[in-house]
Amino acid sequence: MKHIPFGPAPLTIDDIVAIAHGNARAVLDSSPAFRARIDAGSAFLDRLLAEEGVIYGVTTGYGDSCTVGIPMHLVAELPHHLYTYHGCGLGEHFDAPATRAILAARLASLTRGFSGVSWGLLEQLAALLEHDILPLIPAEGSVGASGDLTPLSYVAAALCGERDVRFRGQIVPAAEALAAVGRKPFTLRPKEGLAIMNGTAVMTALACLAWQRADYLSRLATRITALAVVTAGGNPYHFDATLFSVKPHAGQQAIAARLRADLMDTNSQDHRLQDRYSLRCAPHVIGVLQDALPFFRSMIENELNSANDNPIIDGEGERVLHGGHFYGGHIAFAMDSLKNLAANVADLLDRQMALLVDARYNNGLPANLSGATGERAAINHGLKALQISASAWTAEALKLTMPASVFSRSTECHNQDKVSMGTIAARDCLRVLTLTEQVVAAMLITVRQGIALRERTENGALPLQAAAAQFVADLNGQIPFISEDSALEPTLRELLAAIAAHRWALYD
């Protein structure tokens, strides 16, 4: 298994996704210089405590309680109280990949070396990943500043042997799982509870997963569009290179180039002059997502590789710096924007499907793309219900595009009076992607059926380039031709699993 070092080197979205899906292992950088940097921060805090210095969240209460001094003999208990009173999350628990991504994102921030944590804490957090001890983290309860406090309290508690975890296929007490791998519950040092909880790890982890899914969505929606053009007997010259050279958005041009790579140049102008917008303008819709992906990658990876708790501990410069790096505004913006773009792709594909199943617009194919013939055609309804479901999924995706980041609430006695809502935005984005992938699955059935029917017409189907033709052959092997009405849920679920696994290699 690939080892991904957590230390001075920057991490990528791909690193977090690989760890999330169990394809890579997180390891701490073994260089002496990195260890010395970590030790410098915790040693500096020890000296301040010995001098009875005032340190937010160490010798004071939290948030609005920062004016409350903590007696020195109670300082060691403060981290336990922090994760205890934040144990109030609700909603569904994050699944295993999301939880691994959360652990990895928090480890990434702490290994920046500006959180004042001990080497032992990093080892304990890395051990959760190594042994796949996954805290049960409720998804709801974070406003995204002062970071993901409530969900990350479940990480802190698990490190200390409290609350429940997923381990070896079961839900067990954290202390039991730690004991099974030869580790003891960790005792948090001053500042370490705050360092674990006060940051953007949850929203950033979810953003990494969302970005990777959106990138694949862009590719898959493009391939489906090419097949929709073939099903409709459409005009492949809508994606001409010269045409797109005069509107030079790079992402839009890339989508048009991918469509040209799928659709064979027939050297014939025997096509309708103009297809409807959902076919003709597909590069202009998917292209916006394609253009935004590099920007979102940069934004997410900047957050991933940041120290984002408070206060920042500069061990080498011996300074305690109070700020607001726990604020998740960048992730909130990225996720609010990405869910909008994904929902637009769902809407595009839904409109394509509506054209393809309608005998008034599909240019000679049967209504609802039914494969039934003869007298049995009267009792068969083809993809009628599937189109209704796709429309429902699209409507729900579009409904969720309301930006979460504009719903800031003043919380915690008006100390947290402007918050990011980044975690809600990220959760919404993942839901929109799930709904969009469901529309994609419906369209895979649609184009598989449609191309088979188009091939039976007098003029046949437009030829496809090799990669797209192989894709259709793969679909034909997975999706039976529908000559009689059948319940499509099992096929849809198989296709969703294939989409999640990125089964098809799409473009370079």
Calpha distance 367→350 (Å, rounded) = 16
- Determine contact, residues 241/257, Cβ cutoff 8 Å: yes
- Give buried/exposed letters for 258-284 (b at 16+ CB in 10 A, else e): bbbbbbeeeeeeebeeebeebbeebbb
The token pair at 236 is 């492949």
* Residue 375: CB atoms within 10 Å: 7
Contacts of residues 259-262 at CB distance under 8 Å and 24 or more positions apart, as own/partner, are 259/222, 259/225, 259/226, 259/229, 259/283, 260/236, 261/465, 261/467, 261/468, 261/507, 262/222, 262/223, 262/226, 262/227, 262/464, 262/465, 262/467, 262/468
- Nearest 5°: the CA angle 27, 316, 188 is 55
Calpha distance 108→99 (Å, rounded) = 14
**Is residue 507 among the annotated active site residues?**
no
Calpha distance 57→499 (Å, rounded) = 45
- Determine contact, residues 353/347, Cβ cutoff 8 Å: no
Distance of CA 97 to CAs 17, 103, 210, 385, 413, Å?
8, 10, 12, 33, 35
- Nearest 5°: the CA angle 464, 231, 211 is 75
* Residue 25: CB atoms within 10 Å: 14
Relative to beta strand 2-6, strand 24-28 is parallel
Segment holding 175, helix H or strand E:
helix 174-180
Calpha distance 33→8 (Å, rounded) = 9
Calpha distance 225→244 (Å, rounded) = 17
**List 56, 154, 277, 507, catalytic entry:** 56
Helix locations, 190-328, DSSP H: 192-197, 201-232, 241-245, 250-262, 277-280, 282-304
Cα four-point dihedral sign 174, 179, 183, 186: positive
Residue 110, C-beta contacts closer than 8 angstroms, at least 6 positions apart? 117, 121, 122, 125, 195, 196
Helix locations, 51-118, DSSP H: 78-85, 96-110
Distance of CA 274 to CAs 15, 259, 270, 281, Å?
44, 16, 12, 10
Relative to beta strand 134-135, strand 90-93 is unpaired
Active-site residue numbers?
A: 56
